[in-house]
Amino acid sequence: MKIAVYPGTFDPITNGHLDIIKRGLTIFDKIIVTIALNSSKKPLFSAEERMDMIRCSTVGMDNIEVASFRGLIAPWVKTQNAHTIIRGLRAISDFEYEFQMALMNRKINESIDTIFLMPNARYTFLNSTIIREMGRLQGDVAQFVPSCVVERLKEKFPD
Ligand code: COA
């Protein structure tokens, strides 16, 4: 079974992340979408809330597992019997950081490879910060995130 791990902060998951997940499912038998718990970011949503949003956004996709991890991703990937990390590349500006991370992850665990997938061009400008900002200012995010995420943002930022 070909298993890949898709790590991130997912604060919250967006249609751009979902696009990467769907593309990944055409290559892998199973994708573990996993939330970094000790990232330097200060998430708006709790880990449980973020995992719930990934679950509700991937309803109907059979081969998705939602998880979380602490510490370095490379050793964690190994505990899942996986050898591949999926990362999205939205623009050339993503590349340098991703290249460094991929090589460091390989240094930590020689058997790990990172696969880069490009989302549909209509999602290349998206990130979770923009979505949170839109939500905070009561902007319409319906075309950028799954409907259950729209609801969670409304709960976080009531009128
Ligand atoms: N669609 C929409 N947005 C996307 C996207 C896509 N396809 N791909 C990335 N983004 C957004 C993310 O939402 C995020 O937005 P934000 O900065 O506004 O929150 C931003 O682009 C950066 O995303 P990403 O590069 O995935 O960073 P991340 O913070 O979500 O995840 C980790 C980074 C957690 C995977 C990485 O830091 C990690 O592995 N940490 C563990 C420690 C470790 O092992 N480090 C590596 C070796 S030193």
For residue 159, what pLDDT is reported?
80
Q: 155 falls in which pLDDT band (50, 70, 90)?
A: very high
- Terminal C-alpha separation, the chain: 47
**Is the pLDDT score of 59 beyond 90?**
yes
Residue with the two structure tokens 């200012």: 137
Edge-to-edge strand ranges of the sheet holding 113-117: 64-69, 30-36, 3-8, 84-88, 113-117
Around ligand 1, the residues with Cβ closer than 6 Å are: 7-9, 11, 14, 16-17, 20, 36, 39, 41, 72-74, 88, 90, 101, 104-105, 119, 123, 126-129
Superfamily of domain 3-125: HUPs (3.40.50.620)
For residue 25, what pLDDT is reported?
97
Q: Where are the alpha helices (DSSP H) in the chain?
A: 15-25, 47-57, 73-79, 92-108, 128-136, 147-156
Annotated domain spans of the chain: 3-125
122 noted as active-site residue: no
For residue 39, what pLDDT is reported?
81
Dihedral angle sign, alpha carbons of residues 31, 37, 39, 41:
positive
Atom of ligand 1 nearest to the CA of 9: 30
9 Cα to the center of ligand 1, angstroms = 6
